[in-house]
Amino acid sequence: MKSLLLAVFAAAFSRNILLNRFFGLDAAPNLKKALTGGLAATVLAVLASLIAYPISSELLSPLGLQRLEILLFVPAVSALTALAEKLLARPVLPAAADSLVLGVMTIALRGEFDPALGADPLLSAILFPLFAGLGFTLISVLLTATSIRTQHAPEAVRGLPAALLSASFLAMAFYVFTLI
Amino acid sequence: MKFATDGKDGAVRALGASFALALSATALEGLSAGLCLAAVLFVTEFITALFRPILPDKLRFSASLLLAATTATLLSILAEKFFPAFYGAAALYFPALAFETVVRIGTENTDAAFFTGLFTVGALFLAGIIRELLGSGSLFGFGLWDFQIGFFKHPAGAFFVLGVIAACMNLIKRRTHA
Contacts of B98 in chain A (CB under 8 A): 70, 74
pTM: predicted TM-score of the whole model, two decimal places: 0.91
What sections of A10-159 are H helices per DSSP?
31-54, 61-63, 69-88, 97-109, 121-149
CA-to-CA distance for B9 and A157, rounded, in angstroms?
14
User: Mind listing the pLDDT tens digit for each residue in A105-144?
Assistant: 888 887 766 555 555 777 778 888 899 999 999 999 999 9
Set of chain B residues whose Cβ sits within 8 Å of the Cβ of A155: 170, 174
B155 contacts A22? CB cut-off 8 A: yes
- The confidence score (pLDDT) of residue A70 equals 87
Q: Which of B9, B72, B65 is nearest to B37 (CA)?
A: B72
pLDDT of residue B118: 92
- Give the gap in angstroms from C-alpha A17 to the nearest C-alpha of chain B: 10
pLDDT in tens, B99-147: 888 888 877 788 888 988 999 999 999 999 999 999 999 999 888 888 8
B47-99, pLDDT tens digit by residue? Answer: 998 988 888 888 888 899 999 999 999 999 999 999 999 999 998 899 889 88
Q: Which residues contact B172 (CB under 8 A, 6 or more apart)?
A: B8
B5 confidence band (pLDDT: 50, 70, 90):
very low
Q: What is the pLDDT of residue A66?
A: 83
Question: Strand B142-143 to strand B138-139: parallel, antiparallel, or no bridges (unpaired)?
Answer: antiparallel
Please report, as a single letter, which amino acid is at residue B100: E
Amino acid at B170: N
Is pLDDT of B6 > 70?
A: no
Which of A104, A130, A139, A132 is CA-nearest to residue A31?
A: A139
What per-residue confidence (pLDDT) applies to A139?
Answer: 93
Whether B141 and chain A come into contact, CB under 8 Å, resolves to no
Tens-digit pLDDT profile for residues A26-78: 878 889 889 999 999 999 999 999 898 888 888 888 888 888 888 899 989 99
Interface test with A, best of B12, B24, B159 (most A CBs within 10 A): B159
Q: Which residues of B touch A102 (CB under 8 A)?
A: 95-96, 99
Q: Nearest-5° angle of CA A93, CA A70, CA A38? A: 20
Residue A151, Cβ neighbours under 10 Å: how many? 8
The residues, any chain, with a CB within 8 Å of residue A8's CB and separated by 6 or more, are A127, A131
Mean pLDDT check: name the lowest of A124-128, B39-43, B157-161. A124-128
Closest of B89, B79, B98, B97 to residue B18, by C-alpha:
B97
Helix or strand run (H / E) with residue B143: strand B142-143
Of B22, B65, B164, the CB nearest to A22: B22
How many C-beta atoms surround the C-beta of residue B4 within 10 A? 15
Helix, strand or coil, per DSSP, at residue B139: strand
Instruction: Give me the pLDDT at residue B82, please.
Output: 93
Quick one: pLDDT at residue B7?
58
User: Looking at residues A12-18, what average pLDDT do you find?
Assistant: 87
Give the whole-angstrom CA distance, residue A62 versus residue A95: 35
